[in-house]
């Protein structure tokens, strides 16, 4: 499992810019990548912190005006680039929530492996629900285990 507080990523609408007819990554995005990478490395998070199929959650400040889902792309791409999680095609669930306890300008990123759902568990019980889905009823203050 991976859980870390990072600077709030730029909105997906602000990742790319056009100048002189060419598309390039924005200075804001490049600065965020550099800062977030340093924080992750300083925290000692090792590559392959999460393996296999996984879920990703992002807690953003309650007052953030950007579309909540637009904050997810930059975060996911950075985790993949740093090889902390597998390629995002293996991300089975993603969850973004505005949270009062998150300081403006920051976000809380959590990712964890999930097991493959089974058609029926032993004894006819229901399949395991990915932990991120249990956050829908609760809150993001308590990270799933």
Express each pLDDT in 81-122 by its tens digit.
999 999 999 999 999 999 999 999 999 999 999 976 555 555
DSSP of 69-125: GGGHHHHHHHHHHTTSS--GGGEEEEEEEEETTSPTTEEEEEEEE-PPP-SS-GGGP
pTM: 0.79
Pick the CATH number of 2-134 from 2.30.30.240, 3.40.50.300, 3.30.1330.70, 3.90.1300.10: 3.30.1330.70
82-106 b/e (C-beta count within 10 Å ≥ 16 → b):
bebbbeeeebbebbbbebeebeeee
**Terminal CA-CA length for the chain:** 8
The pLDDT of residue 136 is above 70: no
């Amino acid at each position: 499992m991976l859980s870390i507080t990072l600077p709030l990523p730029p909105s997906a609408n602000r990742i790319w810019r056009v100048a002189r007819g060419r598309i390039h990554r924005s200075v804001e995005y490049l600065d965020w990548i550099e800062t977030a990478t340093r924080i992750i490395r300083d925290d000692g998070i090792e590559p392959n912190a999460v393996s296999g199929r996984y879920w990703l959650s992002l807690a953003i400040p309650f007052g953030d005006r950007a579309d909540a889902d637009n904050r997810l792309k930059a975060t996911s791409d950075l985790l993949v680039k740093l090889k902390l999680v597998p390629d995002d095609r293996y991300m089975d669930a993603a969850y973004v929530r505005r949270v009062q306890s998150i300081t403006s300008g920051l976000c809380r990123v959590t990712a964890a492996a999930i097991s493959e759902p089974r058609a029926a568990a032993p004894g006819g019980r229901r399949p395991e629900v990915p932990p991120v889905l249990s956050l829908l009823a609760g809150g993001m203050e308590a990270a799933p285990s």
